[in-house]
Amino acid sequence: MVVKPTAAPPMATTPAVTNPWTGPGGFDVQPLHLYQVATALAVEQQSFHKALVQFLDIHAGYSKVGGSGTVTAEFATQYAAVVALLMEAHGKAVVAIGGAAVGFTTTADNFRQADAATHPLNPPFAPQPPPQVISAPPAYTAPPPFGVRDGNAVDEFADVFDDGDIPGSLMRTVIEEALRTGRALEILPLPNYLKVNELSQAWLPYQTGLGIIQGQLTGTIDAITDHANGDWHGAMLQFVSSVWGTTAWGKNTAGYEWGHKPPTGAGTSLPAFGVLSTTAQILAQAIRSYAEAAEKVRTELREILYKAIKDALALLEVTDLKDFIGNFFERLKKLWKGLGAAVLASIDTDAVNRAVDTYETALRAQTEKVKGLLEPLREASRAVPTFQSQSARAEAFGARSLFEFDRSVVPLNEQSRDPNNRFGIDLASMEWERNDFQPPPPEALRPGKEAHTIDKHIGLTPEQLMHRLRDQGGADASTFRDLPSADQYVQAAVNDPAKRNELETWMRNQERKVADGTFKPGSVKAWDFPVTDANGQQVAVGTSVSQADFAASGYSAQAKNVHTVHVVLAYSPESKSFYVLTAYPKAP
For the ranges 93-102, 223-232, 294-303, 447-456, the lowest mean pLDDT is seen at 447-456
Contact 432, 235 (CB under 8 A): yes
Query: What would the pLDDT profile of 260-311 be if each residue is shown by its tens digit?
Result: 988 877 777 899 999 999 999 999 999 999 999 999 999 999 999 889 888 8
CB-neighbour burial class of residue 281 (10 A; exposed 0-12, middle 13-18, buried 19+): middle
φ, ψ for residue 578, nearest 5 deg: -105, 165
Residue 530 has pLDDT above 70, yes or no: yes
Residue 318 has pLDDT above 50, yes or no: no
How far is Cα 65 from Cα 150, in angstroms, rounded to an integer? Answer: 9
Length of the chain: 588
The b/e string for 415-424 (b: 16+ C-beta within 10 A; e otherwise) is ebeeeeeebb
Radius of gyration in angstroms for the set of CA atoms belonging to the chain, rounded to a whole number: 34
Tell me how many helices (H) and strands (E) the chain has. 16, 10
C-beta atoms surrounding 566 within 10 Å = 18
How far is Cα 447 from Cα 104, in angstroms, rounded to an integer? Answer: 29
How far is Cα 220 from Cα 532, in angstroms, rounded to an integer? Answer: 42
Residue 120 has pLDDT above 90, yes or no: no
- Which residues share a beta bridge with 564? 530, 586
Q: Which residues contact 309 (CB under 8 A, 6 or more apart)?
A: 160, 161, 174, 178, 339, 343, 346
pLDDT value for 155: 79
- Asked if the bond preceding 530 is cis, omega within 30° of 0, the reply is no
For the ranges 17-21, 101-105, 276-280, 289-293, the lowest mean pLDDT is seen at 17-21
Q: Which residues contact 268 (CB under 8 A, 6 or more apart)?
A: 237, 241, 257, 262
Q: How confident is the model at residue 160 (pLDDT cuts 50, 70, 90)?
A: confident
Q: Report how far apart, in Å, the C-alpha atoms of 458 and of each of 300, 366, 478, 507, 559 are.
A: 60, 41, 9, 27, 15
Residue 2 has pLDDT above 70, yes or no: no
How far is Cα 38 from Cα 26, in angstroms, rounded to an integer? Answer: 23
For the ranges 55-64, 192-201, 437-446, the lowest mean pLDDT is seen at 437-446
Q: Report how far apart, in Å, the C-alpha atoms of 325 and of each of 165, 313, 329 are.
A: 13, 13, 10
Residue 323 has pLDDT above 80, yes or no: no
pLDDT value for 3: 42
Share of the chain above pLDDT 90, in %: 70
Q: How confident is the model at residue 224 (pLDDT cuts 50, 70, 90)?
A: very high
pLDDT value for 343: 82
Q: How confident is the model at residue 9 (pLDDT cuts 50, 70, 90)?
A: low
Average pLDDT, rounded, for the chain: 90
pLDDT value for 320: 45
Q: Of 395, 510, 412, 347, give the one whose Cα is nearest residue 101.
A: 395
How far is Cα 453 from Cα 479, in angstroms, rounded to an integer? Answer: 9
367 against 523, higher pLDDT? 367
Residue 554 has pLDDT above 60, yes or no: yes
C-beta atoms surrounding 82 within 10 Å = 21
Report the pLDDT averaged over residues 374-393.
99
**DSSP secondary structure string for all residues of 374-410:** HHHHHHHHHHSPPHHHHHHHHHHHHHHHHTTT-S---
Residue 14 has pLDDT above 50, yes or no: yes
The b/e string for 502-516 (b: 16+ C-beta within 10 A; e otherwise) is ebeebbeebeeebee
How far is Cα 11 from Cα 7, in angstroms, rounded to an integer? Answer: 12
Strand, helix or coil for residue 584: strand
Strand, helix or coil for residue 12: coil
Q: Look at strands 542-546 and 476-480 and give their pairing.
A: antiparallel
The b/e string for 365-376 (b: 16+ C-beta within 10 A; e otherwise) is ebbeebbebbeb
Report the pLDDT averaged over residues 133-137.
98
Q: How confident is the model at residue 346 (pLDDT cuts 50, 70, 90)?
A: confident
Q: Of 257, 278, 290, give the one whose Cα is nearest residue 187.
A: 290
Residue 154 has pLDDT above 60, yes or no: yes
Q: Of 275, 202, 198, 194, give the one whose Cα is nearest residue 56.
A: 202
Residue 325 has pLDDT above 50, yes or no: no
- Which residue ranges make up each domain of the chain? 21-294+369-381, 428-443+452-586
Residue 232 has pLDDT above 80, yes or no: yes
Q: How confident is the model at residue 423 (pLDDT cuts 50, 70, 90)?
A: very high
Strand, helix or coil for residue 579: strand
Q: How confident is the model at residue 1 (pLDDT cuts 50, 70, 90)?
A: low
pLDDT value for 321: 41
Report the pLDDT averaged over residues 571-582.
90
